[in-house]
Amino acid sequence: MQFSVKPNTLPKSRVQGLILGCFDDFKLSSMGRHVDAQSAGRLAKLLKRDDFSGKAGQTLILHDLEGTNLDRCIILGLGKRNELDADRLITAATAIANTTKSLPIKKLVISLDDVIVCDRDDTWLATKLTETFSDAAYQYLAMKGKQTKSAPLTLASVELLAEADRGKALKKGVKLGGALSIGKTATKDLSNAPGNLCTPTYLADQAKALAKQYDRLTTTVLDEKQMQKLGMGAFLSVSKGSDEPGKMIIIQYRGTAASVKPHVLVGKGITFDTGGISLKGGAGMWEMIYDMCGAASVFGTLKTIAEIGPKMNVVGVLACAENMPSARASKPGDIVTTMSGQTVEILNTDAEGRLVLCDALTYVEKFNPATVVDVATLTGAVIMALGSQASAVFSNDDEVARNLIAAGEQTRDRAWQLPIWETYQPQINSAFADMQNIGGKEAGSITAACFLARFAKKYRWAHMDIAGTSFKWAGTKKGATGRPVALLTEYLLQLEGRGA
């Protein structure tokens, strides 16, 4: 889908769809007055009917307004004037994107007359519109057969109309929103792919292909023999149960001098999680194709960053394995030695994400990172705590946590900080090893983060648990959300000084 910014005048040719914003006072914008004049006052009369109130997100489709060149004039409710904030704008944008995606419209024109978001600027507005329309248009059709494959959506381009003095900021937002959409689509495609396709080797191949697309990206892949030499006993305790070999995938973005410390993202990439010997129940196990959403979001963020081209260095590390039961699989009670030299008693093989991540967190010390953020669908407990609204943030550095949360607020890809106080640490102490990989019934998300914190003492670090936000697991709209690509991208751009 292509997005562009044009002057606030209607094209002379036939317009398949024009979107006009309307507040609940029904005062027409300059574009609205122009259309009303062309239609001899019919637009204003239709707006006064009882079935349209101007509530944020309400839509009204008017067909073939006499005297105009419009096939459809689509009125979008914006709520109370001067109260159009970020949340109301997102509500309205989501409604109109979902309304128009099923209409036979190839080119959509949106007049931004009077559309001023009171707590955001025009760059944010254009970014969010671009991102929202792209999200609504997303379809995962790769695995559909000819008989059931849906026809591609008709909408191919969106024009944003505005006065000339708003053009520069809006164009900047369209560019950023386009880059985000590319990255989020890549994340969704990888996340939605079934486990028999999306294996660790498949992800490694995709990362290699990504590096060929962008000059500033390079990809390195560590195989199990290399990880064995590095002493990654925790990672290998997970991957050894599967016939699919584990991979540690390193994607590096070089946007400035090599001497500048990189910001590192680490993603959990369990391409299918049966639970191992601590086998999960069969109901809903299919959802475990999404246990690699952390790795997919890091992949998508690196793609977005490569599209934007900031002057900074970023490293993405994808820790990828399958967690399967077999004669070779780890058993409850096994003790392994991590790359850091610390030992872990594996009391539950279904707490495998922290085992692949802990060795990845030790590995990234080699980059002398400015910051490290790991991203993982780590615990079901976080869904009980925060639901699907916010990802959880845990950190050994309050500034890093604040930056992540601020990025989430800016993008509305929200996150919330939970504690990792030292008083939680005894829950993961082991009688036979340095630690155990579960912490009991209480505070499951926190004790998982406390486990990771023991491997992140040499740098500023945060852990994001995205189990509740990275995919929808019910209904016809189930599938990957692309979160937290927007948050991570904004976080990095703010550090570089280029955030929205």
d(CA 44, CA 71): 17
Task: List all residues 6 or more positions away from 418 whose beta carbon is below 8 Å from its beta carbon.
Answer: 385, 392, 393, 394, 445, 446, 449
Local structure of 79: helix, strand or coil: coil
- DSSP E strands in 55-156: the ranges are 59-63, 72-77, 107-111
Task: List all residues 6 or more positions away from 214 whose beta carbon is below 8 Å from its beta carbon.
Answer: 303, 306, 307
Residue with the two structure tokens 């294996």: 199
- Angle between helical axes of 122-137 and 86-100 (0-180°, round to 10): 40
Neighbours of 7 (CB within 10 A): 9
Exposure class string for 427-460: b at 16+ Cβ within 10 A, else e: bbeeeebbbbbbbeeebbbbbbbbbbbbbbeebb
Annotated catalytic residues are: 280, 354
Exposure class string for 61-82: b at 16+ Cβ within 10 A, else e: ebeebeebebbbbbbbbbbeee
- For 64, list phi and psi in degrees, rounded to 5: 50, 55
How many residues are given for the chain? 500
CA dihedral 52, 53, 56, 58 (to 10 degrees): -20
- Whether omega before 325 lies within 30 degrees of 0, making that bond cis, reads no
Give the sign of the dihedral formed by CA 165, CA 166, CA 167, CA 172: positive
**Amino acid in position 310:** P
R_g (Cα) of the chain, nearest Å? 25
d(CA 39, CA 70): 10
Q: Report the chain's terminal Cα–Cα distance, integer Å.
A: 21
